[in-house]
Amino acid sequence: MELLKLRIKRRIEIYIELDIDGIRKFIMNLLLELKIVTVDMLYIEINKRFKVSYSAVASTLGYIHSKLGILHANKESYKTPTLYSLKEEYVDIIKSTLDKTATVS
């Protein structure tokens, strides 16, 4: 299990390192703060600070879910939106990565 956590930690570090305008850090902080989000919720919060399209938010959330592996996705029925929740075992890794990049920047 530790090997998996190390791989995910490295993926998160690379994801944050490639952050040009600060939106990735902002999304990660929102995920830490809100714990459970939908694409709609995230879109509203991001657009308070950044100008992005709904599809960009949806694809970013999908990328974080599928490639970084730090989110659970739950869809109760086809009529309800997908709820994305942060996996508890990665909260400390995300916090430490964000703290590390904040001191470097």
Q: How far apart are the first and last CA of the chain?
A: 31
Determine the Cα–Cα distance for residues 5 and 98; give it in Å rounded to an integer. Answer: 16
Mean pLDDT across the stretch 76-92? Answer: 93
Task: For 49-66, write each residue's pLDDT tens digit.
Answer: 999 999 999 999 999 999
Which pTM was predicted?
Answer: 0.88
- Sheet of 36-37: strand order equals 36-37, 83-86, 71-74
Output the pLDDT for position 101.
Answer: 77
pLDDT surpassing 70 at residue 103 = no
What the chain holds in terms of domains, given with CATH numbers, is: 2-104 (1.10.10.10)
